[in-house]
Amino acid sequence: MVPRYARPAMTALWTPEARYRIWFEIEAHATDALAELGVVPRAAAEALWRWWATNPAIDVDAIDAIEAVTKHDVIAFLTWVAEQVGEEARFMHQGMTSSDVLDTCLAVQLARAADILLDDLDALLAVLKRRAIEHKFTPTIGRSHGIHAEPVTFGLKLAQAYAEFARHRVRLSAARADIATCAISGAVGTFANIDPGVEAHVAAKMGLTVEPVSTQVIPRDRHAMFFATLGVIASSIERLATEIRHLQRTEVLEAEEYFAPGQKGSSAMPHKRNPVLTENLTGLARMVRGYVTPALENVALWHERDISHSSVERYIGPDATITLDFALARLTGVVDKLLVYPERMQKNLDRMGGLIHSQRVLLALTQAGASREHAYALVQRNAMKVWESDGALSLNALLKQDTEVTALLTPAEIDAKFDLDYHYKNVEAIFARTFGD
């Protein structure tokens, strides 16, 4: 985790103290259930909660010192708690194994991280919707292969991003539900030394569901799907960031990141206004995606348990969620303050002498009786003259001078095919099915 790219709420989920507090709750709830079953004394569970009610500070350094000797983090934690609680703490962890605590804790952390990310997506969706409606009918050029194609609106660009991130919200909700599972099943997952009711009790208390078959660990296909979902979200962040970066290029300049008073773009060139935030988002997206492959490789563990996944998850759990949280918040800020230049958009629309209307002329010629092949050739031979003139010539004017074209279409009919508004007749319908209102 790099503090530069971290926000407090998400970071707080992954501190050692937060982890140990979750561990304690898991152990204490399990002891409650064991007491109900008569396996341990009720006083043991009460002693744990009585100590917890004092809201004790977790001495991370002391636990680390014990682990330096035991070489086992869960044993170090249990030892430290026993030193604080006293004699009754010996009934903690009855019939449990370390993975019961570690995996259930990770499920809690990832579920809570998902809740923050879902809130982040809601904030981004709200901004995308507002800006899309603002620019619903702001004309701009659509590009394919980076080349002028046909007109769109800037609102449609943002509506497409809204629909994309709305799908991600559904995916993340499903991934959250999938990851929020509890395993308190003991060594190799057979419940030989602990009743399944304990698992059900802990799951209910921690806001989880029970894992149907856990072996000694929760199956890592769940985690793989969770991190894959984060990776796909990151890719969409990059897609929108890349769009903004292209639109901010000097020769395009249809939109750009907000440039604050006093902000500097270059140490050498005072004129620079660089797309630094969206470039940063492109890099952060690469990092989040980079955590997906290790998560996929964690699925193939040996037999009922090994710990080859453990070191991986100590990295990717915090780093992927913290980085994505930061990236979503940054993208929301970029879209919220994005500077949009409709006049430049119109200038770029007009730049290539009307070539953007070539398809309408092609279709009109076919409807007037020309074969598609001949109609294509008629339009293309005039369009190439405009292209080679870098837009200095007019496609409309050249078509009116082409006798083979005018034999099929009148000047008024040609003019009608250069109507910009024609391309926007279904914008309202697209918005209605995107936003549902």
pLDDT for 419 equals 96
Which residue among the candidates 72, 93, 235, 266 is catalytic per the annotation? 266
Instruction: Give the mean model confidence (pLDDT) for residues 1-7.
Output: 89
Buried/exposed 103-129: b ≥16 CB within 10 Å, e otherwise: bbbbbbbbbbbbebbeebbebbbebbb
CA distance 344 to 358: 22
Q: Is residue 14 within 8 Å of 318, Cβ to Cβ? A: yes
Instruction: Give the mean model confidence (pLDDT) for residues 237-259.
Output: 97
Find all residues with CB under 8 Å of 347, minimum gap 6, and list them: none
Q: Is residue 253 within 8 Å of 210, Cβ to Cβ? A: no
Percent of the chain exceeding pLDDT 70 equals 100
Q: Is residue 171 within 8 Å of 288, Cβ to Cβ? A: no
Find all residues with CB under 8 Å of 172, minimum gap 6, and list them: 114, 117, 118, 121, 229, 230, 233
pLDDT digits (tens, 9 = 90+) for 81-118: 999 999 999 999 999 999 999 999 999 999 999 999 99
Nearest residue to 324 via CA among 207, 179, 226? 226
H runs (alpha helix) in 265-307: 276-290, 292-297
Specify the residue for token string 């971290």: 6
Instruction: Give the mean model confidence (pLDDT) for residues 216-232.
Output: 96
pLDDT digits (tens, 9 = 90+) for 399-409: 999 999 999 99
Nearest residue to 238 via CA among 318, 134, 168? 168
H runs (alpha helix) in 180-307: 196-205, 221-248, 276-290, 292-297
Which residue among the candidates 93, 98, 99, 145 is catalytic per the annotation? 145
Percent of the chain exceeding pLDDT 90 equals 96
Q: Is residue 96 within 8 Å of 194, Cβ to Cβ? A: yes
The reply to whether 246 belongs to the active site is no
Q: Which amino acid is at 306?
A: D
> Within 10 Å of residue 325's Cβ, how many Cβ atoms?
22
**Is the pTM here over 0.85, yes or no?**
yes
CA distance 406 to 395: 13
pLDDT digits (tens, 9 = 90+) for 372-389: 999 999 999 999 999 999
Q: Is residue 198 within 8 Å of 190, Cβ to Cβ? A: no
The reply to whether 266 belongs to the active site is yes
Q: Is residue 410 within 8 Å of 399, Cβ to Cβ? A: no
Residue 302 half-sphere exposure toward CB, CA atoms < 13 A: 4
CA distance 151 to 348: 10
1 has pLDDT over 80 = no
Q: Is residue 112 within 8 Å of 14, Cβ to Cβ? A: no
Q: 3-state DSSP call for residue 158?
A: helix
CA distance 158 to 138: 11
Provide the token pair at 62. Answer: 């002391």
